[in-house]
Structures are given as structure tokens and as C-alpha cells.
């Protein structure tokens, strides 16, 4: 959010949609625990993550499109977009796999979540590459 400045109404509603989806997680988690990874519960859980990630992707796209190009490089934007699409694909796959192999589906969900542990490119790496390109062009 430090890149946005004053948030737009659209950005606020995207955030509300994402937070609403997140608020359903305790219910889905309890259902999975109660049914011990039954297919419908895992499919719902994976579907919930698809919805959360869609809301997050729209939010992230809006934030990055409003960010100053000097603060967020084109490379960082591409990496963020690719990571978001990969995670969304993993969650969608998990939703489909849940009906046949719920444990594998749950593993896919966990794997997708691991990709969100470090959401940004390390600042040193981004600055080093930007400065090396600047020196090479001189």
C-alpha cells in the first residue's frame, strides 16, 4: 500500500472482497478438520483459495499499476504477476484434484501458499540489477 498514496474506491472494495473471503477460512478449516480431509471439504477449501487469490490478484494489479515506475521496476511487476498466476493455477488445480485425491489437493494448496512467503523481490537484488544495467548502457 505504500505505493498507492490515496486509495481509490475500487481498491477499497477489492480489499473488502479479499477480506470477506479470508473471513471464511475458519469455517473451511474446521470443516476439513471435522471431516478429516473429505473431498467436498477440501474442494471448498481450494475453491475458497481460488476466490481469495483472484481478489488478491486484482488488488495487486491495481496497486502495481498505480505505483511509480521508479519505485517498482518492470521486472518486479512481471515477477509478481507470474507468481500470482502460478499460485492461482495451483489453487484451481487443487480444487479439481480434490474430488479424486483430497490429500494431494491439500498438499497443492500448502505448496501454493509457500509461494506467498516472500511476496517481493529482495531490494538488494532489484537494485543491483538495475544499477548494473545502468552502468552497462553508459
| Residue 115: predicted pLDDT | 87
Answer yes or no: is 2 within a domain: no
Whether 132 shows a pLDDT value over 80: the answer reads: no
Number of domain units in the chain = 1
Q: Residue 5: name the closest of 51, 58, 64, 67 by CA.
A: 67
Whether 127 is in a domain gets the answer yes
Predicted pLDDT of residue 73: 82
Range of the domain at 127: 9-137
pLDDT in tens, 69-87: 777 888 888 888 999 999 9
- Residues 44-68: tens digit of each pLDDT: 999 999 999 999 999 988 888 887 7
Query: Would you say residue 3 lies in a domain?
Result: no
In a domain, 32, yes or no: yes
Average pLDDT over residues 27-56: 97
Angle between helices 74-97 and 102-114 (to 10 degrees): 170
What's the pTM value of the predicted model, to 2 decimals? 0.81
Q: Phi first, then psi: what are they for 5, rounded to 5°?
A: 85, -125
What is the per-residue pLDDT for 24?
A: 97
pLDDT value at residue 121: 54
Distance separating alpha carbons of residues 136 and 11, to the nearest angstrom: 38
The pLDDT, as a whole number, for residue 103 is 97
* pLDDT value for 138: 45
- Is there a domain that residue 76 lies in? yes
87 located within any domain: yes
Residue 107 lies in a domain: yes
Q: Is residue 37 part of a domain?
A: yes
Residue 128 confidence (pLDDT)? 46
Mean pLDDT (the chain, rounded): 86
Amino acid at each position: 500500500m505504500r505505493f498507492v498514496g490515496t486509495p481509490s474506491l475500487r481498491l477499497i472494495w477489492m480489499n473488502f472482497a479479499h477480506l470477506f473471503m479470508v473471513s471464511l477460512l475458519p469455517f473451511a478449516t474446521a470443516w476439513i478438520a471435522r471431516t478429516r480431509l473429505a473431498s467436498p471439504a477440501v474442494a471448498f477449501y481450494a475453491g475458497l483459495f481460488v476466490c481469495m487469490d483472484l481478489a488478491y490478484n486484482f488488488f495487486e494489479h491495481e496497486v502495481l499499476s498505480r505505483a511509480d515506475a521508479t519505485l517498482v521496476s518492470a521486472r518486479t511487476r512481471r515477477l509478481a504477476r507470474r507468481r500470482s498466476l502460478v499460485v492461482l493455477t495451483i489453487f484451481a488445480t487443487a480444487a479439481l484434484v480434490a474430488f479424486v485425491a483430497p490429500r494431494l489437493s491439500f498438499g497443492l494448496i500448502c505448496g501454493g501458499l509457500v509461494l506467498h512467503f516472500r511476496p517481493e523481490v529482495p531490494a538488494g537484488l532489484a537494485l543491483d540489477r538495475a544499477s548494473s544495467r545502468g552502468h552497462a548502457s553508459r
